[in-house]
Structure 1
Amino acid sequence: MPLIDVADLTKVFRVVVRQSGRFSALRTFLSREYRDVCAVDHVSFAIEAGEMVGYLGPNGAGKSTTLKMLTGILAPTSGHLSIDGREPQRQRIEHARRIGVVFGQRTQLWWDLPVIESFELLRYIYRIPLERWKANLSTFDDLLDLGAFLNTPVRQISLGQRMRAELAAALLHDPAILFLDEPTIGLDVIARERIRQFLERINHECGVTIILTTHDLNDIQRLCRRVILIDHGRVIYDGALETLRERFGRWRILIVDLERDDALDDTLEAPGAEVIERYGTRFRLRFDRSATTAAALIAYLSSRYPIRDLAIEEPEIESVIRRIYEAPEVARLHA
């Protein structure tokens, strides 16, 4: 049985229809009209223990609503939801003890208290044995370098420091599952890299299952082998990140460095590829992965030109995902 099992999960919100014109507020108050907004529309997926899955989509696609149902914050309108054999909404206390949550810039720390005192309060809330709490705190201090700000009030630490503290707080009680909603938003390059390294460690070494939503696709490329794409509340792709790239990232780039300028009369030529840029002895050739392979191109070029170096440049995952959302078959889902 999967650790997380979701079938036909749906969430519909009833919202007030705002009326326009003079006295609109009074008319709305006296005779309210409502409309239903489907934020999550029959979503289904299964996640095994130890996976790290990217849950992606544009703003308003239903990502955060899905996570709120998975964590027990929201109740589904319909559908089946089971996490480690529990129903989050019905078994909220037991469920909260077995999961960790970081929702972007919404803090679970106490704003005016030093970070260490927030950690101590969490020890009492989750009833973590003292020795286990100390061991976990020591591990997270080593991985996230918490010592420099443990005794500083939360309101006085930087955003990067606070996100490291949030991750530690979410994991002090040894949860089996970690839900992350935009954990690197607003962080600088160094802070993002530290958090990515930490997530890799706890996933690989501790077996923590992680579901990650983010708009930073570098997080996905670095951390996730599997992605689930959602649009208008519906899953439009669920599978390997590499398969996604191969399916929608049609064009690849071969970078060729020649030994010398006089190695060719005019330009580099290879069947199935076109030169799109040249800088002295360096050429960038674009080719269609469905028509030829990098190995075939390299073999052809190596037999005809004195080559110093070669490199393959894969399509950016951001451009791949943009192509998916622009694809006609995706548009037809919402027609």
Structure 2
Amino acid sequence: MIEVRDLSREFTIRKRVGVVRRTSVVKRAVHDLSFEIDAGEMVGYIGPNGAGKSTTIKMLTGILVPSGGSAIVAGLEPARQRRELARRIGVVFGQRTSLWWDLPLRDSFELLRRIYRIPDQTFQRNLDDHVALLDLGDLMDTPVRQLSLGQRMRGDIAAALLHDPEILYLDEPTIGLDVISKGRLREFLRALNHERGTTLMLTTHDLQDIEALCDRVIVIDHGTAVFDGPLSSLRLNGDASRTLVVDLVDEAPAISVEGAQVVKVEGPRQWLSFPAGASAAPLVAQVAAAYDVADLSIHEPAIEDVIRTLYGG
């Protein structure tokens, strides 16, 4: 559905040198970027600020023209076939809106129906479905400027899906949302992908969104991909470690077993760190055989820590 080959984008920045003189500096926002996304995938596209995430999305939607390489989306070249592509994709930028500020939500949807020339039956079906799933029924006659951020975001997502796009790009869709709004939005996106097979590409700094929605992650840094694979494999990257939490019947000295190291002791509870790629079974067997154990639990490495290590490298 999306095929990117050696994609690059450069910007020329004019800087003042001295009082009058100016000089030009070329900044590479994206370079040598390659990946493929199949139909129906939900992919997290993450990276630090300035890594090139939004620039990539803008090239994939045809807003920006690549400086080099190629991008094919739904069989179309975004920059050359932008109009045809617009009918097949939906885009939500968390800090921008596609709704009309002074119009009621209902009128914004009606305008989009005419812009996309959506057949009446398709429009009404999608509108009814999305309004119900996103809980927008009581807001349809409210001007967009009077909606809260969470309500507006739900309206933007409904607007992006009215024309049945095959691909949905989400750029920071949960920015500023409360816990309830985030949960409702995630449930909707999962249902959309499951029931309609919509391909989702999600950029966000909220890694809970990635864990809740995406099985695959592409990590971009300094304009190029530094990781592309399953979320489970990302946890094994670098020096990530898992933690075995052991509750002993009574307090005891630090547990000594092969393949793990005690990192914390609080009364009868002890925390043992071991490599993320190692099996926990031998470790659990050693502890159970040598100590009186009341309870055991295993904590996976925090995705935030893994990403932080990856960026630092």
Return the TM-score normalized by structure 1.
0.89
- Aligned equivalents of 2:40, 2:50: Cα separation in 1: 28
- Aligned equivalents of 2:209, 2:134: Cα separation in 1: 17
- Aligned equivalents of 2:269, 2:132: Cα separation in 1: 44
Tell whether the 8 Å contact from 1:249 to 1:315 is kept in structure 2 after alignment. no
Match of 2:262 among 275, 292, 312: 275
- Find the counterpart in structure 2 of residue 330 from structure 1: none
Alpha-carbon deviation of 1:17? 2.0
1:58 aligns with 2:58: no
Q: Deviations over 1:109-149 (max 9, x none)?
A: 00011111111111111111112111111211222111121
Tell whether the 8 Å contact from 1:228 to 1:239 is kept in structure 2 after alignment. yes
**Counterpart AA for 1:238:** D
**Counterpart AA for 2:264:** E
Q: Deviations over 1:264-293 (max 9, x none)?
A: 653433222222233333322111245x52
What secondary structure sits across from 1:33 in the alignment? strand
What secondary structure sits across from 2:16 in the alignment? coil
1:174 aligns with 2:164: yes
Alpha-carbon deviation of 1:227? 1.1
1:207 aligns with 2:197: yes
Alpha-carbon deviation of 1:169? 0.5
1:44 aligns with 2:34: yes
1:288 aligns with 2:279: no
Percent of aligned pairs sharing the same letter: 56
- Aligned equivalents of 2:303, 2:163: Cα separation in 1: 35
- Find the counterpart in structure 1 of residue 95 from structure 2: 105
- Aligned equivalents of 1:250, 1:316: Cα separation in 2: 9
- Aligned equivalents of 2:232, 2:239: Cα separation in 1: 10
Return the TM-score normalized by structure 2.
0.95
What secondary structure sits across from 1:17 in the alignment? strand
- Aligned equivalents of 2:143, 2:300: Cα separation in 1: 44
Match of 2:308 among 300, 322, 325: 322
**Counterpart AA for 2:51:** A
- Find the counterpart in structure 1 of residue 17 from structure 2: 19
**Counterpart AA for 1:83:** V
Alpha-carbon deviation of 1:249? 4.8
**Counterpart AA for 2:10:** V
- Listed as ranges, the gaps of 5+ residues in structure 2 are none
1:82 aligns with 2:72: yes
What secondary structure sits across from 1:6 in the alignment? strand
Match of 2:4 among 6, 14, 19: 6
Match of 1:310 among 290, 296, 310: 296
What secondary structure sits across from 2:137 in the alignment? coil
What secondary structure sits across from 2:106 in the alignment? helix
Indicate the RMSD between aligned Cα atoms, in angstroms: 1.6
Alpha-carbon deviation of 1:248? 2.3
Tell whether the 8 Å contact from 2:7 to 2:68 is kept in structure 1 after alignment. yes
- Aligned equivalents of 1:172, 1:19: Cα separation in 2: 50
What secondary structure sits across from 1:152 in the alignment? coil
Q: Deviations over 1:274-316 (max 9, x none)?
A: 22233333322111245x5211111122223343332211111
What secondary structure sits across from 1:192 in the alignment? helix
The alignment of Structure 1 onto Structure 2 pairs a total of residues equal to: 313
- Aligned equivalents of 2:3, 2:75: Cα separation in 1: 9
- Listed as ranges, the gaps of 5+ residues in structure 1 are 328-335
Distance 1:181 1:267, change over 3 A: same
- Find the counterpart in structure 1 of residue 234 from structure 2: 244
